[in-house]
Amino acid sequence: MKKLDKNEKIVFYPGSFDPFTIGHYDVIKRASKIFDKVIVGVLFNINKKYFIDKEDRTNLIKKTVKPLKNVEVVSFNGLLVDYLQKRDIKIVLRGLRAVSDFEYEFQMALMNRGLNSEIETFFMVTSACFSYISSTIIKEILIHNGDISNLVPGPVFNYLSKNRERLLKDRFSNGKKKI
Ligand code: PNS
């Protein structure tokens, strides 16, 4: 775990990123111009089944954000506030696409502040052209073999195209749905 510079304005952008979309990338690019450092936190919750495993989700984001020199990508599990405390980070970033996101995001922001009063959540309104994109919809399109080339960054598109069969087989194994 890298030691952080106390003088830098650091923001933590947590998510499942299952998969990482161009909407997520847009939020990171814009935040990287505002904050000194953006740390993308890929959640690994042991009780949840993901479409893409933690290592691949993390590596795909690393590949995508490589041109952005002030962006770091990590994976984390457990409570977000615990991870933030360990690294002495106080600001969380979340993207807002539509009113429908608001209730959940509001609840999470209040819960995180309730758990640690020092945590503030910053919301970045998504670019209008990406407002309809979600990881869930992308998985649905992929399942039906639709075109996702304009919805995910290049490295994610290549990975999903190459691994589609295996991911779908895993998703439907044990009769369990993993969307
Ligand atoms: O991309 P997502 O799935 O909408 O991101 C949700 C995420 C990862 C931000 C949220 O589930 C989270 O922070 N999980 C970590 C566990 C935790 O702290 N839960 C309480 C938050 S109110």
Distance CA 141, CA 124 (A): 26
Helices 54-65/22-34 angle, 10° precision? 50
Averaged confidence pLDDT in the chain: 94
Substitution site in 51, 108, 121 for ligand 1 pocket (most atoms within 8 Å of beta carbon): 108
Query: What mean pLDDT is predicted for residues 133-138?
Result: 96
| Domain residue ranges of the chain, discontinuous segments joined by + | 10-174
Going from the Cα of 173 to the center of ligand 1, the distance in angstroms, rounded, reads: 26
Alpha helices in the chain (DSSP H): 22-34, 54-65, 80-87, 99-115, 135-143, 154-172
pLDDT of the residue at 54: 95
From the list 106, 102, 54, the residue with the least C-alpha distance to 76 is 54
Is the pLDDT reported for residue 176 higher than 70?
Answer: no
pLDDT digits (tens, 9 = 90+) for 2-22: 778 888 999 999 999 999 999
pLDDT digits (tens, 9 = 90+) for 26-82: 999 999 999 999 999 999 998 899 999 999 999 999 999 999 999 999 999 999 999
Residue position matching structure tokens 């002495």? 88
Going from the Cα of 77 to the center of ligand 1, the distance in angstroms, rounded, reads: 10
The answer to whether the CB of 85 is under 6 A from ligand 1 is: no
pLDDT of the residue at 177: 56
**Which protein residue's CA is at the shortest distance from atom 12 of ligand 1?**
80
pLDDT of the residue at 72: 97
The answer to whether the CB of 16 is under 6 A from ligand 1 is: yes
From the list 92, 90, 17, the residue with the least C-alpha distance to 55 is 17
As assigned by CATH, the class of the 10-174 domain is: alpha beta
Window from 86-100, 124-138, 164-178 with minimum mean pLDDT: 164-178
Q: In this structure, how many other beta carbons lie within 10 angstroms of the beta carbon of residue 23?
A: 21
From the list 78, 64, 5, the residue with the least C-alpha distance to 37 is 5
pLDDT of the residue at 2: 74
Share above pLDDT 90 across residues of the chain, in percent, rounded to a whole number: 87
Q: Is 51 exposed, middle or buried (0-12, 13-18, 19+ CB in 10 A)?
A: buried
User: Which residues does the annotation mark as catalytic?
Assistant: 24, 48, 97, 135
pLDDT of the residue at 99: 86
